[in-house]
Amino acid sequence: MLIKKILLSGAASLVALSGVHAADAIVAAAPEPADYVRVCDAFGTGYFYIPGTETCLKFGGQFRYTFKGNDLNDKKDASTGTTGANWADEMRARINISTKMDSELGTIGTDVQLHSKWKSGSTSDGFEARLAYITIGGFTIGRMTSFVDNNGNNSYWPSFVSTNLANGDSVITGIRYETTSGPLKFGVGIDDLQDSQLATSQSPKFNKDLGFETQLSYKQDSFSSYIWGVYDNLAKHGVVYGHAENAFGPHLIQFDAEYASGISSFEGKYNWAVSADYTYTVNDKLTVGPSVAYNKYFDSVNNGKGFWTVGGDTYYYLQKDKNTKTFVQAGLGYDTYDKALNSYLRLRRDF
Model confidence pLDDT, tens digit, residues 64-97: 999 998 764 544 444 444 445 578 899 999 999 9
10 Å CB burial of residue 195 (0-12, 13-18, 19+) is middle
Q: What is the pLDDT of residue 72?
A: 47
Contact by Cβ (8 Å): 237, 212: no
Query: Is 12 or 301 the better-scoring residue by pLDDT?
Result: 301
Q: In whole angstroms, what is the distance from residue 153 CA to residue 161 CA?
A: 13
* Averaged pLDDT for residues 199-225: 85
Q: Say whether 199 sits in a helix, a strand or coil.
A: helix
Nearest CA to 236 out of 258, 272, 208, 200 is that of: 208
Model pTM? 0.83
Residues 23-69: tens digit of each pLDDT: 455 656 666 655 677 899 889 889 999 998 999 999 999 999 999 98
pLDDT in tens, 139-159: 999 999 999 999 999 899 999
Q: What are phi and psi of 149, to 5 degrees?
A: -65, -20
How far is the C-alpha of 258 from the C-alpha of 227, rounded, in Å?
A: 10
**Strands (E) located in the chain:** 48-49, 56-70, 87-103, 106-119, 128-136, 139-145, 171-181, 184-192, 210-220, 223-232, 237-248, 251-260, 270-281, 286-297, 306-320, 325-335, 340-350
Buried b (16+ CB within 10 A) or exposed e, 211-247: bebebebeeeeeebbbbbbbbbbbbebbbebbbebee
- Asked if 161 and 241 count as a contact pair (C-beta separation under 8 A), the reply is yes
Q: To the nearest 10°, report the CA torsion of 148, 154, 158, 159.
A: 30
Per-residue confidence (pLDDT) for residue 15, from 0 to 100: 44
Q: Are 181 and 153 in contact (CB under 8 A)?
A: no
Quick check: 17 pLDDT over 90?
A: no
Which amino acid does the sequence have at 280?
Y
Q: Does residue 25 or residue 163 have the better pLDDT?
A: 163
Cβ–Cβ under 8 Å, residues 66 and 89: yes
For residue 265, the number of C-alpha atoms closer than 13 Å in the C-beta half-sphere is 33
Q: What is the mean pLDDT of the chain?
A: 87
Q: Is 20 in contact with 28 (CB distance < 8 Å)?
A: no
The count of other CB atoms within 10 Å of the CB of residue 153 is 23
Domains within the chain, CATH numbers bracketed: 58-350 (2.40.160.10)
Judge contact between 282 and 250, C-beta under 8 A.
Answer: yes
Are 94 and 118 in contact, with CB atoms under 8 Å apart?
no
